[in-house]
Structure 1
């Protein structure tokens, strides 16, 4: 295992020029990737960070947007248990970092997580000397874990998940992955399936504490605005939510071949902001009339268009509340599906595609209770959603089922926050 990590470290070190090149390319579409690039390699400016929090930081790593939103739910509860909490918040993507700024209080710090080389990890740990590390969902890196072990920093994998595909991949690299998972202090798994896979990879006995995303409380103002959009629309509203590359083209083909689909007001919200312009171009070049959310502001959306394009961040509750039903993005291409829990919390019934391995249990449970339907492909999904529109009593029952499904699984934030506090107390007592 030591030889495997040495080889991995050499490859990570050699890949640094490629990482810099990738960051420059990404920054052309998302300027956030050009921000504080030296932090990616473990160089943190002491003047604007200071060391007054050294040894006190509760470090939370949320790689991207979804993990940052889950971290927000956990942090709200952690702050009630630890009123003096000093937060060190790290990310790997520009969308995660932008979302994470909303979580900061005076005295908190936000930086990039360093590239996983021993030297960069060591610089990061020496700079901040965190009291505990909380990795959100999947972010287990060999050198990061090894560095924390050497520095005596306990690591908790919170809201942990591991789908079958990732489990198979981790098994192929068992010489690396087993040592990394075994080096965790605690694992707080979403489901029993996640816990079992993580245990097989060497993780310490995982606790099954549920999914933080069930604790989301949609912004009432956004829900009210969405309801006003839906009421004002002259046609029923269907949403393609958090779509990924290729899925808008699938939808477009289904729209062309389904006459009833043209009688609906469609709302399409791409998952990644760097694709907003490309999706708008795809739709307009196909002859569709498109209105972008960024262009109508506080007004009601226009009636004389085929598609509303949701080109904004942080407004998914608005989009779900405006729709009679939603098609779940990333589930029609083999990408594993996006989070359907937020849709359910907004009382929006969901049609999922064949690929939901990222949230398989949640998708199965939602389908079982009537909050969601499973489609074989995009045309099937469009037809299922249209059928819902023509059966108002069934659609209303699905709306109630979706909200009940979301509410029935709450409580993970409290349970996971308490587990993290226990880890911190155990470290304190062991060091006395």
Structure 2
């Protein structure tokens, strides 16, 4: 009865889903393309292993798992679904023709039946936290094992899901195995009604990021072009309201360190133009990566408005700020920066990564700041005291390496479920 009411509501809201896509397409035209896929129509077909990753972050996190699945199950087609155009672009960029790709249909029985009827997966792997009652029920009805991988649940999410009560419990009952990132995440799933015998702790697969061969060298080559002795600050995954603060802090830092170079990388492509205008209005010489403009000796700011180069920016940087944190968004993943041995500074709004930032800060690899004044002070300290900067970078890299191993645990879960 509860799922029936949920389904009825989803069907009633489905016209709004289309309107939302059209609204978002004002900034990104890709949202009004391939709409049929969101209702289960499309050309993807054939038996497969199916992995779902919502957007860019989840897709990048899933990369080690995808590579292992391709290696260990070469006889199986791998389907990777996303819900956003940027996630779709990331799948194509990372995996090319080695995987099939389409959008995940809306959680409507008819839409799901159309896709499942064509692809007939032997296993569904859902990255992180995507609890869809009809999708999970459809898999259970078809005896498709379902693995919730790298599963995470914050206290805020638990409170939200708890309001749905029995519907969430019934949905989690259809999950074959929950591979939680940590003990707290596992406890939260148990609070919502997951079966204890179906919950394991595997760790966070984001620690199993493999730095592509040659990327460090590419970063060093960029440093040579920019000036080998110049300090480079990368402000990664910035959100609206943060870029202005970043530029004000940068202006203050340049008074002390006139050769400092800033790389600003907005989180969302639809903000590239706006951030580029902000940088141009700052009166510092700036270039946009996407234009291929020549880098000049007096260039002070690079706008990282190209997709898929975040690791390259980290490879070429001296230190990193991780955005979505000076505003109340919840923060972003600091581990990619830590993998390159960069000291990390972030705002205090990092609740989406509450399992990572506290131990990373305790290890000495990251600092949290409440405002732009504290951000300026922390960056200046690291930039002026090379020994403390190096200590923080080593601490970040050591923390990253010590927590690897989730991938092997996940693959054990995959092998177990593939035999069911």
TM-score category (smaller protein)? over 0.9
SS in 2 for 1:238: strand
Taking a change above 3 Å as real, the CA distance of residues 350 and 172 of structure 1, as seen in their structure-2 partners, is: same
For 1:287 and 1:18, the matched residues in 2 are separated by 43
Determine whether 1:166 maps to 2:162. no
The aligned counterpart of 2:305 is 311
Aligned residues: 415
- CA shift at 1:103, angstroms? 5.1
For 2:237 and 2:97, the matched residues in 1 are separated by 33
The aligned counterpart of 1:178 is 169
Question: Unaligned stretches of 5+ in structure 2?
Answer: none
The aligned counterpart of 2:40 is 42
Q: Match for 1:211 among 204, 212, 232?
A: 204
Q: Match for 1:421 among 412, 415, 418?
A: 415
Determine whether 1:320 maps to 2:320. no
Q: Match for 1:6 among 4, 7, 10?
A: 4
- CA shift at 1:270, angstroms? 0.7
Cα shift readout 1:362-396 (whole Å, capped 9, x = no counterpart): 11121111211121223212220111011111111
For 2:75 and 2:202, the matched residues in 1 are separated by 25
Cα shift readout 1:149-177 (whole Å, capped 9, x = no counterpart): 12221211001111121111111222332
Query: Could you tell me the TM-score, scaled by structure 1's length?
Result: 0.90
For 1:169 and 1:43, the matched residues in 2 are separated by 31
Determine whether 1:238 maps to 2:233. yes
Is the contact made by 1:164 and 1:357 (CA closer than 8 Å) also made in structure 2? no
The aligned counterpart of 2:122 is 131
Determine whether 1:201 maps to 2:192. yes
Q: Match for 1:33 among 31, 34, 57?
A: 31
Query: Could you tell me the TM-score, scaled by structure 2's length?
Result: 0.93
> Which one is further off, 98-107 or 223-232?
98-107
Cα shift readout 1:214-246 (whole Å, capped 9, x = no counterpart): 111222433222223335436321111111121
Taking a change above 3 Å as real, the CA distance of residues 112 and 202 of structure 1, as seen in their structure-2 partners, is: same
The aligned counterpart of 2:59 is 68
The aligned counterpart of 1:364 is 358
Determine whether 1:295 maps to 2:295. no
Determine whether 1:250 maps to 2:245. yes
Determine whether 1:405 maps to 2:403. no
The aligned counterpart of 2:112 is 121
Q: Match for 2:376 among 352, 376, 382?
A: 382
The aligned counterpart of 2:221 is 228
Question: Unaligned stretches of 5+ in structure 1?
Answer: 428-432
For 2:266 and 2:230, the matched residues in 1 are separated by 22
SS in 2 for 1:361: coil
For 2:252 and 2:96, the matched residues in 1 are separated by 51
Determine whether 1:264 maps to 2:268. no
